[in-house]
Amino acid sequence: MGEKLPPQSPMSQEIEISLPFTGRWLARNSPARRVPSHGIDLLGERYAIDFIGVDDHRRTADRRDWRTVLATEPPERFFAFGRPILAPAEGTVVAVHDGELDHAGRRSQLALVPYVLGQMGRLRQGVGAIAGNHLIIALRNSDAFVGLAHLRAGSIRVRVGDRVTTGQPLADCGNSGNSTQPHVHVQVMDSADLTVARGIPIAFRHFREWSRGARQFQVRESGIPGEEAVVEPLPVPAKGDS
């Protein structure tokens, strides 16, 4: 028999938000592939998704060398590191955590071994060691919350109590917490307390998606990107535009 999962949140209706960035990003650990999307159902991440910044050739970093194969790499090599992270919806900031260090990147299988072995230790250290620098927004006109994790140390521009609007710069993408290369982790949940939160299904509005291996994109008005798809948000049409 499979592992018994915690009960779903009573708020099972899908919550639609915007992608929290500009430019092209690669989707990983998508709930379009499996649920729980990250393989375990903890910290409200049942339907969470990760996005890694890429260039037009789907590359996540600007080079490959001996460090890529044998060692760790500076986070600055990765296109995602330092990119602005934007508010995916209107709401109020209810939690901010900063002060976690940004780690070196790990594409090397050798460098990943000690990292994987330290996974349980990070879990015992608590939320900060897993989510890294993060913030949580209470969504306007909803009982749901959106969390953005693995932010760059010292980059968070908002405080608890601040009201934010969709597209407002909040922080920079980093590599803090349980992260092997710079990326942003996005989830919607029923509580601002990650230790008890349960995940809520998520959808993103108005974006281009290049499915894995596809040369042409498709425009999606709403949905969750497929695993290894590249996405790019589309501008929201101004009122009155055709």
Domain extents for the chain?
15-231
Give the C-alpha separation, 21 to 127, whole Å: 24
Q: pLDDT value at position 236?
A: 72
- CB distance 232 to 220 below 8 Å: no
Contacts with 170 (C-beta within 8 Å, 6 or more apart), sequence order: 20, 85, 86, 87, 135, 148, 156, 157, 158, 164
In order of 59, 97, 115, 125, 214, the CA distances from 121 in angstroms are 31, 20, 10, 6, 39
Q: Quick check: pTM over 0.75? A: yes
Mean pLDDT for the chain overall:
91
Q: What is the pLDDT of residue 1?
A: 36
Token pair recorded at residue 232: 């790019």
Ranges in the chain, pLDDT < 50: 1-6, 240-242
Q: What is the pLDDT of residue 240?
A: 47
The structure tokens 């910290």 sit at 43
Between strands 184-189 and 145-151, the pairing is antiparallel
Superfamily of domain 15-231: Glucose Permease (Domain IIA) (2.70.70.10)
| pLDDT at res. 9 | 54
**DSSP of the chain, one letter per residue?**
-PPPPPPPPS--SPEEE--SSSS-EEEES-TTT-SSTTSS--TT-TT-EEEEE--TT--SBS---HHHHHS-B-GGGBTTTT-EEE-SSSEEEEEEE--PPBPPB--SHHHHHHHHHTHHHHHHH-HHHHH-EEEEEEETTSS-EEEEEEEPTT-----TT-EE-TT-EEEEB--BSS-SSS-EEEEEES-S-TTT--B--EEEEEEEEE-TT-SS-EEEEEE-PPTT-EEEEPPPPPTT--
Condensed to tens digits (0 to 9), the pLDDT of residues 134-174 reads 999 999 999 999 999 999 999 999 999 999 999 999 999 99
